[in-house]
Structure 1
Amino acid sequence: MRRCARSAHTLLRRSAAYSPHLPADAVDLLSKDDDYAVRLLLCDPDPRKRWLVGLDPEAPVDAVVRLLADPDDRVRAMAAEHPALPVDLILRSSGNPELSTHALGNPSLPTQVMHQYLDDAGIPR
């Protein structure tokens, strides 16, 4: 994690910032990072700010996956809609009544799955 925290690559630093196992010296380093998203992911308890991760199409996959289990329902909905969410989790979320609307609107949802849901709902092609 320390190597990721010191990386020149923003995405690696973002990933490290979201890790629950980040050592204290890496937390200190990342708290001064130039990238706003790194500082935001580090430890901000405000769900409105965690929701902002959804505005970044290059958000790290592991951050989006972790936000799918966030305590705030709006953050979970954002994660279900995020194109970085792995397909298996989109499919799992599409079966969750709380997240299905959001997951089914995910642009990474496989076309055949989308057609199956539309067929099941009786919507003609």
Structure 2
Amino acid sequence: MRRLAPSASIGIRRSVARAGHLPPDIVDRLSRDPDSHVSYNLASCCEDAPAELLLEAALRRDGGFLALGHPNFPRHTLLRFADDPDPLRRRLAIESPESTPGLAERLDDDPDERVRARAAADPRLSPATVLRLLDSTPRTRRAALGNPQLPVSALLRLLRDADTAEDAAANPAILTTVVRQLAELSWAAESPTGWVSRP
């Protein structure tokens, strides 16, 4: 790896960065590589990726939240972003272990849709807030549809609506048996005989 990490070939450096574990000196070299795909691979694949690189990856517009599950991700530093002018930083504040339900409630009215959508998915929101967010922009509404705080009565109504059924079906509050019953009802409605074969 030490011979390959300084290679003039971008492809080789990108491949090295995908290793699960690397010595500290190679991690340091690759985290400073001028090719953005090298650092992206390091952040998404290497368990030794440094905290600064992971935070940088999470703040990229195209990086999304790929680094949030990494054990080295610096979650304890994120609360400082709650009032940051950059919306990509504000949405990370909710990921802080010190964040509160009040912060999620405040950020669900953020001017930036990406921040609102992240807040809409937060399970600490009140059911009333989640219901209100269903009337928001498409991205925020989709996030609210997956929030486990969504009241069951609303969830059942949304599962019957062709426009919202797919997103509502991904809600973790739905029991498998409920999904199966709804699917059987749907198949029965579409079947010319109304008969459903059970496995």
1:72 equivalent to 2:91? Answer no
Cα distance 1:38–1:97, how it changes in 2: closer, same or farther (>3 A)? Answer: closer
Contact 2:101 2:125 in 1 (8 A): yes
Percent identity reads 38
- Count residues with an aligned counterpart: 90
**Aligned-partner SS, 1:49:** helix
Task: State the Cα RMSD in Å.
Answer: 2.4
What is the CA–CA distance in structure 1 between the aligned matches of 2:153 and 2:125, rounded to whole Å? 18
Match of 1:84 in 2: 124
2:134 equivalent among 77, 89, 94: 94
Kindly indicate whether the alpha-carbon contact (under 8 Å) linking 2:94 and 2:103 is maintained by their aligned counterparts in 1: no
Give distance in 2, aligned partners of 1:74 and 1:106. 16
What one-letter code is carried by the residue in structure 2 that aligns with 1:79? A
TM-score with structure 1 setting the length:
0.60
Corresponding residue SS for 1:55: coil
The aligned counterpart of 1:106 is 147
Question: Are the counterparts in 1 of residues 79 and 93 from structure 2 also a CA contact under 8 Å?
Answer: no
Whole-Å separation in 1 of the counterparts to 2:98 and 2:144: 18
Structure-2 change in CA distance of 1:113 and 1:107 (3 Å): same
Deviations 1:21-50 (A, max 9, x none): xxxxxxxxxxxxxx5234222x42121111
Which structure: greater helix fraction? 1
Q: Distance in 1 between matches of 2:102 and 2:156?
A: 28
Q: Contact 1:58–1:84 at 8 Å: present in 2 too?
A: no
**TM-score for both structures, normalised by structure 2:** 0.40
After the TM superposition, which residues 9-88 of structure 1 pair with which residues of structure 2 at under 5 Å, given as runs? Answer: 35-41=76-82, 43-56=83-96, 59-88=99-128
Q: 2:158 aligns with which of 105, 117, 125?
A: 117
Residues 105 and 125 in structure 2, CA contact (< 8 A), matched pair in contact too: yes
How far does residue 80 in structure 1 lie from its aligned partner after superposition?
0.9
Change (3 A) 1:62 1:44: same
Question: Which structure would you say has the larger RCO, counting Cα contacts within 8 Å and 6 or more residues apart?
Answer: 1
For the residues of structure 2 that align with 1:57 and 1:112, how far apart are their CA atoms?
A: 31
